[in-house]
Structure 1
Amino acid sequence: MKNNWSHIRTPTLLIDEKRVRRNIHRMVTKAARAGKVFRPHFKTHQSRAIGEWFRDEGVSHITVSSVGMAEYFASNGWNNITIAFPCNLRQIDRIDELASKIDISILVDSEDVAEQISKLVNHKLRVFVEIDTGSERTGIRYDNPEAIMRLYALIEESEFLEFAGIYSHAGHTYACRSREEVKKTANEAIDRLEQVAAVFEKKIGVCYGDTPGCTVLDDFGDIITDLSPGNFVFYDMMQVHIGVCEVDDIGVVLCCPVVTEKTIEPVVTLYGGAVHFSKEQLDDKSFGKVAMLNPSGWEDSVVGSLERISQEHGMVRLDGVTAKAGDVLAILPVHSCLTAECMAKYLTLNGVYLDHYQKSR
């Protein structure tokens, strides 16, 4: 659709379906070539409609980050879902209800939690033991085999719990600043998972997932059975900054109207702030990068930075271009997952709005 975007009146998350489908196809192909089950994380897009683009590529196993999100996608026919977040005992009744209908997997890193779950559920529930390979967020440390095996024994003894394997998100790859550094960090995480798997006397499921690692690696070794990256579906300026993708891989931009302009310096104020972008920053302290819209989408060149934000305001410094009140600028997000969460719907280049989990709850 060719247009001048005159219908954009407020901050609007614009999605390029062609780019997103290309990103999906690349990762599906990579997982298939590596002989791994592809279990993409849907926490980035959170959309039934975008989920169908994965189905078009033959995807049948998915990962989510909350019970509510699992219910949302289960209602759209997804029958194999992993909730990649430490099990929240206060929602165990809803998890048990899901387990009565679909193949649901959860993450556990505590013996106490495992014991309580086994007493509270009445349906078979698959359990991944979460392993910390260096992100230091959640999970049992990879070098604590005694704790890992005690938790495994509890799961094996339970009537309703079924051991699904081990799971790790190497989130510390986001601190890397080059492809080579990502490769080193991701391979180290996989080596640590191999160390854990070696403790078991049988072959187990080993799920690994982070966008930087899954993007730069082609060889995941023999021990990894499943891959579950998420951000790759859209990518963003953080991934560009890390060095794992290019600007033309980014599948969404936040289109923001210009509301005022400075006369002394090339700074304009946008209708678009923290409630739309989040407060994620790049190393240069910017909250996003500016691209210009064209009749069929947006340009791939960066022409400015979003330097300051408040709740609704965004201050942009432009480089080599100008903008006036009433214009619309496209902002390449720092972290597309959070921007999508903030905006909770998408506008396609063809003028169609796509649904989002946040709008359904």
Structure 2
Amino acid sequence: MTDTLDTLPTPCLILDRAVLRRNVRRMTDRLKPAGVQLRPHLKTAKSVEVGRLATAAFDGRITVSTLAEARYFAAGGFKDILYGVGIVPSKLAAVTQLRRGGTNLRVVTDNMPVARAIAEAAKAGDSFSVFIEIDSGGGRAGLPYPGLPDLIDIARILHGAANVELAGVMTHAGHSYHENTPDGIAKVAEQERLAVVTAAQALRDAGIPCPIVSAGSTPTAMHARHFDGITEMRPGVFVFNDLDQAGIGSCGSGDIALSVMASVIGHYPHRNQLLIDAGALALSKDISAQEFMPKAGYGFIKDAPVADLAVVACSQEHGFVQADAPLPYDKLPIGSKVRVWPNHACITAAAYDRYYVIDSEQSDGRAVVATYDRINGW
């Protein structure tokens, strides 16, 4: 018997394939005409099936955030993988193992001690492909722009080492998540572009090749005015979207492909609340969407019978659901199921080992048409 939304256990993760495909087409239509490759950051989906859909119109390059993801996607046939978290010497052996197996696993650094360690490790005959990370304003990792201290020195260590390829430069404008107008995001996108393109030109001026110029977040990929000088973009959450992206303006609510399905387990009219069996572990405690959607709580209820019905508080396995208006308990009986849009799809999905896939463009959209696995851990 085919599962439907009515027969699934709760809490569980629901993925609407029709919305996912629309999201991928939208990003493809942004980047293809500009001649920019898509290297999607698959830390969001952590799924080979989603990765194949996301890269279908491009050359198959991807980004990951853990070595577990790198192994999983390599086993799934992906051969050009950027491990987008700064590498440390103790992980170089794991990188080497994947590269020996035929995967071009590329790594990232922003400091000379690691550059030297990579050069030293390569003396044994193993090869490495390295990006230098640039901080374009997000304040997380990378050489700060505009100063770009040590850029040329790091590049010379890498470029001058046997068996080491300096693949290029990369950046991520994480501060784009704190803008919610097209002009505001476009300004950050231009800052991101200038930082990484300037770094690439500085290397070339010093006689050092810089073939790949890599940038990208979902907001900047969607709102950049142009991509001059950039060769690839690395958005991630665009495949699913979430309330945070809707608040920013990178998508609409109809573009959110991911939801958590939960069961109503209690009615509490004296406090105008109901309980669901999805709490902090099922939804996460990420409240990023509240920056521009103060009533989002830990997630809005999809297709709710009253406005702004949201999970307003969580304990480990309980979600407290409330709205400003009186709750229509007759429309939300005990045992009924609701779907919660996540604040941050990447964090919410991390609690689960699979996606139950539906397709809202097929029949009534309630049949489970596939199950996609995913990789967790490090």
TM-score under structure 2 length normalisation: 0.88
**Partner residue of 2:297 out of 280, 286, 292:** 286
**Partner residue of 2:213 out of 186, 206, 209:** 206
Change (3 A) 1:4 1:354: closer
Q: Is the 8 A contact 2:36 2:231 kept in 1?
A: yes
Q: Is the 8 A contact 2:118 2:128 kept in 1?
A: no
Q: Is the 8 A contact 1:30 1:218 kept in 2?
A: no
- Whole-angstrom distance in 2 between the partners of 1:217 and 1:134: 16
Percent of aligned pairs sharing the same letter? 26
Aligned residue type for 2:320? M
* Structure 2 counterpart of 1:348: 357
**Partner residue of 2:320 out of 309, 315, 323:** 315
* Structure 1 counterpart of 2:272: 266
* Structure 1 counterpart of 2:334: 325
State how 1:16-165 maps to structure 2 within 5 Å: 16-100=16-100, 101-121=102-122, 122-165=125-168
State how 1:208-227 maps to structure 2 within 5 Å: 208-221=215-228, 223-227=229-233
Aligned residue type for 2:181? S
* Structure 1 counterpart of 2:363: none
Aligned residue type for 1:15? L
Stretches of structure 2 that go unaligned for 5 or more consecutive residues are 359-366
- Whole-angstrom distance in 2 between the partners of 1:55 and 1:192: 26
- Whole-angstrom distance in 2 between the partners of 1:292 and 1:313: 20
* Structure 1 counterpart of 2:362: none
Provide the aligned length of Structure 1 versus Structure 2.
Answer: 353
- Whole-angstrom distance in 2 between the partners of 1:225 and 1:114: 23
Q: Is the 8 A contact 1:268 1:324 kept in 2?
A: no
* Structure 1 counterpart of 2:256: 250
State how 1:192-203 maps to structure 2 within 5 Å: 192-200=195-203, 201=205
* Structure 1 counterpart of 2:238: 232
Q: Is the 8 A contact 1:118 1:158 kept in 2?
A: yes
Residue 344 of structure 1, CA deviation: 2.8
Change (3 A) 1:269 1:58: same
Residue 218 of structure 1, CA deviation: 4.7
* Structure 2 counterpart of 1:296: none
Could you give the per-residue CA deviations for residues 257-276 of structure 1, whole angstroms, max 9, x where no partner exists? Answer: 11101123431111011111
- Whole-angstrom distance in 1 between the partners of 2:276 and 2:80: 42
- Whole-angstrom distance in 1 between the partners of 2:275 and 2:40: 37
- Whole-angstrom distance in 2 between the partners of 1:145 and 1:56: 35
* Structure 2 counterpart of 1:338: 347
Residue 217 of structure 1, CA deviation: 2.1
* Structure 2 counterpart of 1:167: 170
Range moving further from structure 2, 98-107 or 54-63: 54-63
- Whole-angstrom distance in 1 between the partners of 2:15 and 2:145: 39
SS of the aligned residue for 1:92 comes to helix
Cα root mean square deviation, aligned: 2.2
Stretches of structure 1 that go unaligned for 5 or more consecutive residues are 294-298
Change (3 A) 1:271 1:165: same
Aligned residue type for 2:319? G
Residue 354 of structure 1, CA deviation: 1.1
Change (3 A) 1:190 1:55: closer
* Structure 1 counterpart of 2:12: 12
Could you give the per-residue CA deviations for residues 95-152 of structure 1, whole angstroms, max 9, x where no partner exists? Answer: 0111221222111111101111222243221110000011111111122334111100
- Whole-angstrom distance in 1 between the partners of 2:196 and 2:239: 25
